[in-house]
Amino acid sequence: MANIPFDQREGSIWLNGAVVPWSDARVHVLTHGLHYASSVFEGERFYGGRVFKLKEHGERLVNSCRIMGMDCPYSVAELNQAAEATVKATGLSEGYLRRVIWRGSEMMGVAAQSNKINVAMAAWDWPSYFSPDALEKGLRLAISDWRRPAPDCAPIEAKAAGLYMICTLSKHAAEQAGFNDSLMFDYRGLVAEATGANVFFVKDGALHTPTPDCFLNGITRQTVMELARRRGIQIFERAIAPEELEGFEQCFLTGSAAEISPVSEIGPYQFEIGEMTKQILRDYHHEVYRVPNSRSAVA
């Protein structure tokens, strides 16, 4: 199904409390979320039929609504029950779940506080965010011209659709130049993240990762830090200047879609796919398949 446009696929989608045929899950072209980015979402993976970190994703989704001034019509528990039902309806054992909440089309204009808040969920087969060949060799990242905004310039703690505009621009530019993705700096010129994933570096047996003070503290990022602590790996969560990239030995990205993705190149800087990166990847693979009493598994 990889090459079938999403509006032409078959299946069902959970929309505002009901399961509808895939082709019937429609919104009007004058939907506020389309024009003014009043939309939040979650991207989640499921393994063995269970959504990984379902509770954490549901809580973040509702919190994103709160930050965006949208009153979510469902509780976290209700959203998570619907997510489980959406995944089950696919018949898939593994895949990707997208939950999205947005303001509807009752009013058009910057202010639309009385608009209906809509909720939809869909799941599909998505084996890998990056190609297997790219992952085996290590991703090649360009360095974006766009920067993550300051905390007083955008709702950086929300997984809000509008924050991904510069990510799309950055990834398009990177792909057009022959790269797999792009590394973004923040408003201060410090290392931030990739276009849809957090970044980690390895040096002298320790992990280094930027402090998430102007971008999302990813759920996969938090999982990797937990896995590293279990192995006694030292973690430095700190400001990372661009010139430090030359001194790091390994690099990898983390995200629900990207999972653990080794990096071999960022601009002029080269990295090896070393043992620590491989170990974190193995540990993550083991973690997502822990059932049924895993802290990460759906109860």
Low-confidence ranges of the chain (pLDDT < 50): 292-299
Q: What is the pLDDT of residues 4-39, one digit of tens each?
A: 999 999 999 999 999 999 999 999 999 999 999 999
| Tokens standing for residue 55 | 């509770």
184, 145 Cβ separation under 8 angstroms: no
Co-location of 110 and 167 in the same domain: no
Sign of CA dihedral 167, 169, 173, 176: positive
Domain identity same for 139 and 212: yes
Question: What pLDDT score was predicted for residue 291?
Answer: 52
215, 254: one domain: yes
Q: Same domain for 201 and 55?
A: no
Cα–Cα distance for residue pair 230/249, rounded to 1 Å: 22
Q: Which domain holds residue 161?
A: 132-288
Specify the pLDDT at position 84: 97
- Supply the DSSP string of 158-204, one letter for each residue: S-BGGGGHHHHHHHHHHHHTT-SEEEEEETTS-EEEESSSEEEEEET
Instruction: Indicate whether 137 and 118 sit together in one domain.
Output: no
pLDDT reported for residue 1: 56
What Rg, from alpha-carbon coordinates, does the chain have? Answer: 19
Residues 155 and 248 placed together within one structural domain of the fold = yes
Q: Residue 60: which H helix or E strand, with range?
A: helix 54-67
3-state secondary structure of 34: helix
Catalytic residue, chosen from 53, 116, 159, 203, is 159
Domain membership flag for residue 298? no
Assess if residue 60 is contained within a domain. Answer: yes
Domain boundary among 74, 106, 124: 124
- Classify residue 247: in a domain, yes or no: yes
137 tagged catalytic: no
Residue 67, helix vs strand vs coil:
helix
CB atoms under 10 Å from CB of 163, counted, come to 18
What's the CATH code of the domain at 74? 3.30.470.10
What is the Cα–Cα distance from 41 to 48, expressed in whole angstroms? 23
Instruction: Kindly state whether residue 219 falls inside one of the protein's structural domains.
Output: yes
Q: Are residues 90 and 172 in the same domain?
A: no
Return the pLDDT at 290: 81
What are φ and ψ of residue 118, in 5° steps?
-100, 150
Q: Is residue 65 part of a domain?
A: yes
25 with 94, same domain? yes
Together in a domain, 156 and 267: yes
Q: Which residues of 175-192 are buried (b: 16+ CB within 10 A; e: fewer)?
A: eeeebbbbbbbbeeebbb
84 lies in a domain? yes
Within a 13 Å sphere around the CA of 212, how many CA atoms are in the beta-carbon half?
17
Task: For the chain, list the strands marked E by DSSP.
Answer: 12-15, 18-21, 39-47, 50-51, 95-103, 117-124, 139-148, 181-186, 191-194, 198-203, 206-210, 235-238, 250-255, 259-266, 269-270
Please indicate, yes or no, if residue 299 is contained in any of the structural domains. no
Which of these three, 103, 124, 145, is where a domain ends? 124
Are residues 106 and 172 located together in one domain of the fold?
A: no
* Position 265 in a domain: yes
pLDDT score of 298: 28
142 and 115 within one domain: no
| pLDDT value, residue 197 | 98
Can you give the pTM of this predicted structure? 0.93
What amino acid is encoded at 29 in this protein?
V
274 and 253 together in one domain = yes
* 169: CATH: 3.20.10.10
Domain total in the chain: 2
What lies within 8 Å, CB to CB, of 239 at 6+ separation is: 188, 190, 210, 211
Give the tens place of pLDDT for each residue, 132-143: 899 999 999 999
Q: What span, in angstroms and rounded, lies between the C-alpha atoms of 234 and 95?
A: 32
- State which of 69, 98, 124 marks the end of a domain: 124
Q: How does DSSP classify residue 85?
A: H
